[in-house]
Copies of this chain bind each other. A is one copy, B any other.
Amino acid sequence: MKSMENFFNPHSIAIFASMKEGKTGYEIVKNMVEGGFKGNIYPVSQSGGQIFGVNINKDFKNLEIDLAIIAIPGQFIPSLLEDLGSRGVKSAVIISAGFSEVGNIEEEKEIKKIAEKYKMRIIGPNCAGIMNTGCNLFASIEVRALLGQTAFITQSGALGGAVLMMAEELGFGFSKFVSYGNRCDVDEVDLIKYLEDDPQTKVITLYIEGLEEGRRFLTQAKKTVLKKPIIAIKAGKSKAGMRATSSHTGSLAGEDKIYDAAFKQAGILRVEGVEEMFDLCRGLIHYPKIKGNKIGVITNSGGPAVLTTDKLEELGLMVSEPSESLKNKLKKILPPHVSLGNPFDLLAYGGAENFAQVSKTISSEYDVIIAIFVPTASMDSVEIATALGKIKEEIKIPIFANFMAGRLVKKGIEELNRYGIPNYETGERCAKVIQKIILRTSKINNFNLCN
């Protein structure tokens, strides 16, 4: 796997591209330099000169290259690959487009042949590059990913770019980012296999439009999900979507039902789109497993709790009533008028201490707690967050939060983050996340029983 390692942890990286302002090469070098890559950065272009304080090399005879990033016009790529291969370069990312996605299938085959000849691994062509935030590798023109624990691999470069921009807005980070484009060589399966053992990656996410080797993919996925969750966005469900897919990547989307069944069988969590993907990742990073489906909802606000409860039950989860003995325990610690049923509505009494006490008390009968908080004049969101954070360390079940909303709970949410409690803008979104994690847990428990 040395060549795979070269993609993500190269000591030296060479960028073959025009270095003119605004061009791909320029943007990549900018990202690499500004991102703080510790290894050698070798821009290579006939222009020579300097860029971002780095010399532009007119040739690469004397350079030792672990990873080549290529963004030159397609017709010059084969001879460059021959050169690189004969000098022992083992890994290349081809960003340039104009291959199978526009019908130039032979040109892409030629590239693949050269790569095989030299045992060189290739990501691309027609891709948006790769990133490893662990070593500040930003070999891409896209917005630099923040540091995080989710790996994102994507067939669509533009969607990859959009995801990075949305993530930046949310403060959501990535361990690795890979846009693999036409996958003439390295494909999803290679990447999942690599990421399975990547200590920086806790969750693997992918956007795919179609697979070429379904069985190989599923075999790998089934193995990987035992170690870490895989989340997939599979586009091209509908007829028009499939038509669009085949026109823009040249791959066949295939019958969606088959994908859906296969994902389920392999324990892959399928999500509808990017927002749900972010939501689910934020849950899975803290709680890769949830053991049962009894949900206790604690709130200081009736309305949002009802909406959350509706969604939980719609998704097949149980917002079950506490036992009589638990009710008796609650009665002792709670003020009068407070509901002893689930959702546990603390009303205006819902201060930090009550949130903590109720969480602790009900943790014996529930598998998950959702804490819903709407600030009032007398209640501070940070205090509630701290109390929940401390109790989380004491009790053994996951706590999710739905602090509503905006600037009045901003600091509270930051405090929740410090304690590893994921917060969701609505309880409904929170419910969806919990349901998917429970699904995953029961699936992999089954796998483990079978093995």
Contact = CB atoms under 8 A, between A and B. Distances in A.
Contact of A341 (B243, B307, B409): B243
Contact of A426 (B245, B248, B274, B404): B274
A290 interface: no
B237 A310 contact: yes
B158 A313 contact: no
Interface stretch (A164-172, A261-269, A436-444): A164-172
6 contacts: A156-B304, A237-B314, A244-B302, A247-B339, A249-B302, A275-B429
Interface string A89-103: 000000001000010
Contacts of A155: 303
A395 interface: no
Nearest to A166: B405
Interface of A: 22, 24, 27, 97, 102, 141, 143, 154-156, 158-163, 165-166, 168-169, 207, 209, 233, 235-241, 243-245, 247-249, 272-275, 300-307, 309-314, 319-321, 337, 339, 341-343, 345, 347-348, 374-378, 404-409, 425-426, 428-429
A77 B79 CA distance: 89
Given A161-B374, A425-B166, A238 B313 contact: yes
B377 A407 contact: no
B165 A406 contact: yes
A426 B425 CA distance: 16
Please list the 6 inter-chain residue pairs (A to B) with the smallest Cβ-Cβ separation, ordered nearest first.
A156-B303, A159-B303, A238-B313, A158-B301, A248-B302, A162-B404
Contacts of A321: 243
A244 B345 contact: yes
Given A241-B313, A313-B238, A162 B304 contact: yes
A303 B374 contact: no
Contacts of A162: 301, 303-304, 374, 404-405
Contacts of A163: 405
Contacts of A102: 337
A316 B319 CA distance: 33
Contact of A235 (B165, B303, B345): B303
A345 B159 contact: no
Given A302-B158, A377-B141, A309 B405 contact: no
Contacts of A378: 22
A195 to B, nearest CB: 20
B307 A273 contact: yes
B165 A241 contact: no
A166 B243 CA distance: 38
Nearest to A410: B169
A378 B24 CA distance: 10
A160 B376 CA distance: 12
A407 B273 contact: no
Contacts of A425: 166, 275
Given A240-B309, A342-B240, A425-B275, A304 B159 contact: yes
Contacts of A247: 339, 341, 345
A140 to B, nearest CB: 12
A374 B158 contact: yes
A310 B241 contact: yes
A145 to B, nearest CB: 12
A158 B426 contact: no
A243 B309 CA distance: 10
A329 B243 CA distance: 21
Nearest to A159: B303
A10 B249 CA distance: 62
B166 A309 contact: no
Contact of A310 (B160, B235, B300, B347): B235
A337 B126 CA distance: 15
A245 B156 contact: no
Nearest to A156: B303
A159 B301 contact: yes
A177 to B, nearest CB: 14
Contacts of A209: 303, 306
Given A240-B319, A343-B244, A235 B307 contact: yes
Contacts of A343: 240, 244
